[in-house]
Each structure stands twice: as structure tokens, then as C-alpha cells.
Structure 1
């Protein structure tokens, strides 16, 4: 059927009212909220704030792909991979959810709804998706590509942004963790200190590799009778595995840091229990540890 011969149809009242209230420029043309007409608008180029990633193909950034390949090959450690994400384009999933109908504007011509009541505008809320980790913490899913995002949730819409902005949004939403590419061949958890470092555009040093933390922890030995030394090592939950079962040296949800409590020579079982209790008490007041380590486990070392 020729479009010109199609019968005209009235728009639903709430949509017609919305169009009537839409901003227009001085000549009556549809415009944005600043009064700039949409007609002949050029949305390309560096000056357009809505298109930070002009020409984006939705694939994982080359630097991220390279870092992932090196991580899987054992050529890059956890810190190297996390820090390679800085400044890269990633995606977060959002959902458009229909909200309650807004009340019609005074004097607007709206169609009556059920029972003769006027119907207001349909409104949609755009919400970031978050998930809950196994230990109950709020977690922000983040994706390296549109394909990975839509494979995880086919109704989610991808929003592209730099890593720093995404991590800031995660913290603002109350998330303590971010999980990169959930459901993909490699799912990589960014624990809280890494999320905070990326949000602040600072280099992340894992707690188990942090010389400042190790030096400061040595200062609590005077408070821990029977303890000769504290050893910092990766926790049992630092590593993860690919979907195929291959081990990866990072990306686990924790525990992140293992503190080995080395007992003084000649210590018996009672001494060991007292030593552990004294270390736990001292660590509970250790502010640097709370800031730099996501989760901690203690182990006796004889």
C-alpha cells in the first residue's frame, strides 16, 4: 500500500499531549530542551558530547583483548590486567522500566482511561543492573563488548563509558565489587580496592604485593606475643578459572590476602591460639588493612 494512501490514525491522547508539550525553537520546529532544533542536526564529530566513542564497533578494545590474552597465557599477573583496564571503553547494562503514569498536565487533551479517568504520560526509568555476590555484596556487572553484554542479558541496553566513570558509578550505587564479563569464557572479579583505584585513576597494587602494607603490619608484632613474623601472600580466593577449567592467576572474589602468622620457636597449641587471637585483635584496629585489602584470612605457619 502506498504510504500516501494509508488512512490517517489519531495518536493516543497521552502521546499527542506529550508532543504538544515538546520544546520548539522560535520558528516552531521540534527542538531539544535548550531550544536547538533537531532538523539538520549533525551528531558526529569530536564536539558532540553524546558520542564519545564515534564509530565504536562494540567489540572489546584492542588493549583489553591484548591484556586478556597475556593474562590467559600467564604473561601478565592480576595487577597488570586490572591496571590495563584504566582509560579503556567498557559497557554497563541498563534496563528501561515502565514507571507509573504521570498525571496529565492541566488543560491537556488526553484520552480517558478505564472508567473515564484521564490517562497521563507513560514514563520510563533507566536503571543500572546490579547483582549480588555469593557473600551477599552488591556487585556491578561490566562488559568488554556489546556481544558479551547481550549474551548475558538480551533485554539490557549497553552504555559505553571509560573505566574510571564506570567504577565511580559502581561505588555511587553502593557496589563493593565489579565483575567483568559475567557468563563469558573468562569472568573476572574486580575486588573493592581495585574498583576504588580505577575510579580514582590511580595504579592498583594488590594487598599481597603491597610493600607499604607489609612494613606497617610488621609494626603490630609488639602487640602479638609469641608471633615471630607476619607473611603476606595471595589469599585462597585470588585465582579463578575459565569456563573451560584453565587456571587464571587473578579475578577471584576472595579471600584476597592471606596473612601467615609465624610462631616463635617452641610455641605449643595454647601459644598458637593466643597468638592468633592477638593478631586478630590487632588487625581489627588496623585502618590501612581495611582500606587496601578486600578480604583477609589468617593461617598459622610453624
Structure 2
């Protein structure tokens, strides 16, 4: 993933820890290898996040932002604080905290950024406290990894991240716990004949609904609203699924 889709903005503060006196600013070799493997399609993101949980990262602090600065790739920097951590804006509008594996990767992203070393779980906790959904590791490359919201929450809470999608014989499939939670949430809604989960096309997980025939637009909207509300109230879904899409399937 390139850094270009992200726009900067929103300065926030973060406090460094004091346990990195001997840190030379280099990347953790194991994390770097896992990130390279993920970029090559040979390492699952789950392994990257697991290593990240035990790793120091560098959070960038920008001492001064111009009122309206434009980066070489055409992105805009909004001045919101004299000094502070900068949030990136993902293509879907969510805010992301940029973190770096090394001083070199941060300098490649922005030479005037000051590195603040923190444990990755602490960086995730700071992102969650600011209502920033994502982490972006090394947005300036050489390898960039986007850490999704459920993984950020798990990092912040010191828990193992369990992705909603797991490898299957014919490609990714929805984890059984998540699939069961989708069925439990959606199936009891009136006019829903069946409900199941599968990997999404535009979102991480698709909830596929088979509905009673003959519903008018108002009836369909009411059913979808109820399904959405029940999905949103599910702890399993909120903790493990980054994004959902609803699809209408055949009732058969």
C-alpha cells in the first residue's frame, strides 16, 4: 500500500516513555521481515500485528505546520497545533495514527518530524483515546502496513488480535465465531428468511440476507435498519469486524 491515499491533519500530543535510552532508532529485524513478507503475500497480517505488540515504534511529532502546506504528492497539511502528532486521513475518511519502525523510515516520510519512541500498544491506546481508528506503519515506505480498527483495539487492550477472516481451502472465509454472531444478530429480524456471513467485496465482511418476497421500499428499509442495529449491538462483531456490507441474496 502506498502512502499517497492518506492526507495529514489534526495535531495531537503524546508523551514518550523513558525506557528507550539505548535505542539506536533502527527497525526491529523480525518486524521488518514480517512486514516484507506481508507485502509479498506470504505472511498474514495477524503475524505482523503480533510482533508489533512486542515492539517499539516511533510516533512523529511536527514542531510547526504551515497554515496550508502541500506535500510533493499533492496532499494537504492542515495547521491545528503548534506541535503535536499528526493524524492521517484514510480514503474512507477515518483517522489513522502514523507510526514508524525506524528513524530512517520516518525521515523518508518527513525530514522535519521528531521521533518519539513508545511501545506499540501505547501508541494504539493513544489512537483509540483520540477516536482514531487505524494505525499506519511506515506510511513513507519502504513497506507500509495498515493496521485495522479491531487490531488497534486489541493492541491497546493488550489482547491477541483474532481477525474476522481466516484462511480456508478456497481462500479467506469468515471465522466461525463471527459467522455465528452475524446469524444470531440478523436471523431473528422479521422478514429475514436466512442470514449468513462471507468475505465482502467492498467491506471486510458481507452479511447476505435472504428476505421474504414482496417487500416494498419502506419495508426493505425497515428490515435493513433493524439488521444494522442488531449487528451494531453485537460485541463479537464490533470487536472483531473492521467493516460490514449488507447484501440481498435469493430467498430460495
User: Fold-level match, TM-score > 0.5?
Assistant: yes
Q: Unaligned stretches of 5+ in structure 2?
A: 1-16, 66-80, 166-173
Question: Could you report, residue by residue, the CA deviation over 1:24-71 in whole angstroms, capped at 9, with x for unpaired residues?
Answer: xxxxxxxxxxxxxxxxxxxxxxxxx734251x3322201201211332
The structure number with the bigger radius of gyration is 1
1:64 has 2:31 as partner = yes
- C-alpha root-mean-square deviation of aligned residues, in Å? 2.9
The TM-score with structure 1 as length reference comes to 0.59
Match of 2:228 among 283, 291, 297: 283
Cα distance between partner residues in 2 of 1:260 and 1:83: 31
Cα distance between partner residues in 1 of 2:216 and 2:197: 16
Match of 1:296 among 241, 244, 247: 244
Query: SS where residue 96 of structure 2 aligns?
Result: strand
- 1:116 aligns with none
Give 4+ residue runs of structure 1 displaced > 4 Å after superposition: 270-277
1:223 has 2:189 as partner = yes
The TM-score with structure 2 as length reference comes to 0.70
Give the direction of change, closer, same or farther, for the CA distance of 1:50–1:81 in structure 2 (3 Å limit).
Answer: closer
**Structure with larger RCO (C-alpha < 8 A, sep 6+):** 2
Query: SS where residue 223 of structure 1 aligns?
Result: coil
**Higher share in strand:** 2
* 2:26 and 2:101 in contact (8 A); partners too: yes
After TM superposition, the structure 1 = structure 2 runs for residues 7-46 of structure 1, keeping only pairs within 5 Å, are: none
* Matched length: 206
- 2:135 aligns with 178
Question: Could you report, residue by residue, the CA deviation over 1:219-240 in whole angstroms, capped at 9, with x for unpaired residues?
Answer: 231325353331232x345xxx
Match of 1:95 among 55, 59, 62: 62
Q: Residue 97 of structure 1: CA displacement?
A: 4.3
Give the direction of change, closer, same or farther, for the CA distance of 1:231–1:151 in structure 2 (3 Å limit).
Answer: same
Q: Residue 275 of structure 1: CA displacement?
A: 6.7
Give the direction of change, closer, same or farther, for the CA distance of 1:89–1:167 in structure 2 (3 Å limit).
Answer: same
* 1:141 and 1:178 in contact (8 A); partners too: yes
Cα distance between partner residues in 2 of 1:276 and 1:228: 17
- 2:20 aligns with 52
Give the direction of change, closer, same or farther, for the CA distance of 1:227–1:73 in structure 2 (3 Å limit).
Answer: same
- 1:164 aligns with 121
* 1:226 and 1:271 in contact (8 A); partners too: no
After TM superposition, the structure 1 = structure 2 runs for residues 122-137 of structure 1, keeping only pairs within 5 Å, are: 126-137=83-94
1:78 has 2:35 as partner = no
Q: Unaligned stretches of 5+ in structure 1?
A: 1-48, 99-123, 238-254
Cα distance between partner residues in 2 of 1:227 and 1:272: 16
Query: SS where residue 41 of structure 2 aligns?
Result: coil
